[in-house]
Amino acid sequence: MAGLWGGRFTKETDDRVFAFNESLSFDKKLYRADITGSVAHATMLGKQGIISKEEMESIISGLNSILADIENGSLEFDPKCEDIHSFVEANLIKRIGDAGKKLHTGRSRNDQVALDMKIYVRNELDTMESLLKELLGVFVKRMEENTETYMPAFTHLQKAQPTNLAHYIGAYVEMFLRDRDRIKDIKKRLNLSPLGAGALCGTTYDLDRDYVAQLLEFDCATYNSMDSVSDRDYLIETLNACAIIMMHLSRFSEELIIWNSNEYRFVEMDDAFSTGSSIMPQKKNPDIAELVRGKTGRVYGSLMSLLTTMKGLPLAYNKDMQEDKEVAFDALDTVKDCLALFTGMFATITFNKDIMAKSAMKGFTNATDAADYLVKKGMPFRDAHSVIGQLVLKCIEKDCSIEELSIDELKELCNMFDEDIYDAISLKTCVERRLTKGAPGAIKESIERYRKLI
Ligand code: ARG
């Protein structure tokens, strides 16, 4: 449709050019944001006397009827329109006639698309925040259920020290709390309205930009019209936040995949969140966790794509920037899906508490505590480290754990050992005596803090 710029042109757009150039096929997602922005623009034009009150009212009711018809399915997007902005405008003119031709007064598609994307993304960030809240709620509930579920904690994926499952989950609570903060922070910088920047250098009409901003719940209007139409920082920040959320989901997914393996059997995924094999009848696969892990790559891709699109772009608007949409929509949809699916999966997972505890008792996870025992009896830590090292070697030879050695065997290596060693290195003691801030013994305080924060 050459309707938008017909005057200057003597030829129709080549079909291939139209298909290459159009964005309606994907920016139709912006219809609600676009109409909301246009209603505010028309309201301001009316208030400023740039259009008459009657024209303003007619435009607003026309726009509202378009919105209603899109939502009830009676108005379909016309593929002959280039983008969502021209679709809505053309439809408005069809509905209300000449008054509709005044809507675009003092506005360009450049500030319009910048506004639409901000409204859309702000809304998506709100949704992501509530999805994070649900996930965090499930995490904290599962923490409360598992303050006495003992398990090994790992470094280098080797058993290191014992902890409780609540402490383990708490590490992820911290990550997703940071994600939630990041989103709040992005919203602060995003929340300035670009509308009224015009094509790039403002306009001679007496627009009240701050009034439009206020109508649309922005803090105020942006401060430089060229930056307003070419800023995609908030979108890059959003994709960055998405990438980090996916990285966190992917790390936990990887852990659950390992814990769900036949060798570990720490967890059992609920049937509703697992899949089977078409050939191997015994299989129950953690596909959801694997897919979440897999989709992380595509969200990283979106971030890299937009960063690369924006690199080296001169001021102000360039058509390259239309490429921001598909990657942003895809990343936002992917993150929302992954957050919701992961929440469902984690809420229904079964923890095999006995297997986790048994695993913590093997692999000398209490070796540090055995060394600390000798330190408390007066031995310097470095010496204690060496004694326990020899002790572990002895246990490996005998294929037993430290607490399975008799007191005589222990004394043979070091006469500072007494009967109280067995209690000092029991799983429960090892975990619950770690009372430093943030340690597993102090998990109840952490849970209380999370409850308040969430
Ligand atoms: N579809 C365009 C985009 O997404 C809208 C802005 C068009 N502006 C222009 N000067 N061609 O960026």
Nearest Cα residue to atom 11 of ligand 1: 319
Block residue for tokens 């719940």: 217
Ligand 1 site, residue 322, Cβ cutoff 6 A: yes
* CB-CB contact of 447 with 143 (8 Å): yes
Pick one of 3.40.50.300, 1.10.40.30, 2.30.290.10, 2.60.40.10 as the CATH number of 363-445.
1.10.40.30
- Which of 25, 261, 277, 386 is labelled catalytic? 277
The verdict on the CB of residue 245 being under 6 Å from ligand 1 is: no
Contact assessment for residue 87 and residue 26, using Cβ atoms and an 8 Å cutoff:
no
Q: What percent of the chain has pLDDT over 70?
A: 99
385 included as an active-site residue? no
Is the minimum distance from the CB of 110 to ligand 1 under 6 angstroms? yes
Higher pLDDT, 141 or 3: 141
pLDDT reported for residue 4: 75
* pLDDT > 70? residue 213: yes
Determine the residue of 20, 26, 34, 83 to mutate for testing ligand 1's pocket, defined as the one with the most ligand atoms within 8 A of the Cβ atom: 83
At residue 10 the predicted structure's pLDDT band, cuts being 50, 70 and 90, is: confident
Q: Whose CA is nearest to atom 3 of ligand 1?
A: 322
The confidence band for 283, taking pLDDT boundaries of 50, 70 and 90, is: confident
Residue 135, pLDDT > 50, answer: yes
Say yes or no: CB of residue 87 within 6 Å of ligand 1: no
Q: Catalytic residue, from 74, 156, 278, 406: name it.
A: 156
- Does the domain made of 12-105 have the CATH classification 1.10.10.10? no
Cβ-count burial 159-197 (b if 16+ within 10 Å, e if not): bbbbbbbbbbbbebbebbbebbebbeebbeebbbbbbbb
Q: What is the mean pLDDT of residues 407-427?
A: 94
Using the predicted structure, report yes or no on whether residue 274 has a pLDDT greater than 90.
no
What is the CA(196)–ligand 1 centre distance, in A?
Answer: 16
Nearest CA to ligand 1 atom 2: 322
Mean pLDDT across 131-158: 97
Residue corresponding to tokens 């500030």: 111
431-449 pLDDT per residue, tens:
999 999 999 999 999 999 9
Lowest mean pLDDT among 40-44, 55-59, 284-288, 338-342: 284-288
In this prediction, residues 235-260 reach a mean pLDDT of: 98
Domain ranges of the chain: 12-105, 110-146+164-207+226-357, 363-445
User: Looking at ligand 1, which residue's alpha carbon is closest to its atom 12?
Assistant: 322
pLDDT category, 8, cuts 50, 70, 90? confident
Non-local (6+) Cβ contacts of 446 within 8 A are 143, 166, 167, 170, 438
Please report, rounded to a whole number, the percentage of residues in the chain having pLDDT higher than 90. 94
User: What pLDDT does 3 receive?
Assistant: 65
**pLDDT higher than threshold 80 for residue 332:** yes
| Dist. CA 230–CA 313, nearest whole Å | 9
Minimum-distance ligand 1 atom for the alpha carbon of 321: 12
Ligand 1, pocket-test mutation among 22, 30, 319, 325, most atoms within 8 A of CB: 319
Distance from residue 258's CA to the centre of ligand 1 (Å): 47
Instruction: Measure 73 CA to ligand 1 centroid, in angstroms.
Output: 26
pLDDT band at 1 (very low <50, low <70, confident <90, very high): very low
Is 156 one of the annotated active-site residues of the chain?
yes
Mutation choice for ligand 1 from 28, 113, 232, 324, CB with most ligand atoms inside 8 A: 113
Distance 111 CA to ligand 1 centre (A): 9
Residue 419 pLDDT grade (very low, low, confident, very high; cuts 50, 70, 90): very high
The 3-class secondary structure across the chain, one letter per residue, is CHHHCHHHCCCCCCHHHHHHHCCHHHHHHHHHHHHHHHHHHHHHHHHCCCCCHHHHHHHHHHHHHHHHHHHCCCCCCCCCCCCHHHHHHHHHHHHHHHHHHHCCCCCCHHHHHHHHHHHHHHHHHHHHHHHHHHHHHHHHHHHHHCCCCEEEEEECCEEEEEEEHHHHHHHHHHHHHHHHHHHHHHHHHHCEECCCCCCCCCCCCCCCHHHHHHHCCCCEECCCHHHHHHCCHHHHHHHHHHHHHHHHHHHHHHHHHHHCCCCCCCEECCHHHCECCCCCCCCCECHHHHHHHHHHHHHHHHHHHHHHHHCCCCCCCCHHHHHHHHHHHHHHHHHHHHHHHHHHHHHHCEECHHHHHHHHHCCCCCHHHHHHHHHHCCCCHHHHHHHHHHHHHHHHHHCCCHHHCCHHHHHHHCCCCCCCHHHHCCHHHHHHCCCCCCCHHHHHHHHHHHHHHC
237 CA from centroid of ligand 1 (Å): 21
Please check the confidence at residue 214 and state whether its pLDDT lies above 70. yes
pLDDT on residue 278: 83
* CATH architecture observed for domain 110-146+164-207+226-357: Up-down Bundle (1.20)
Domains 12-105 and 110-146+164-207+226-357 share a fold: no
Indicate whether 223 pLDDT > 60.
yes
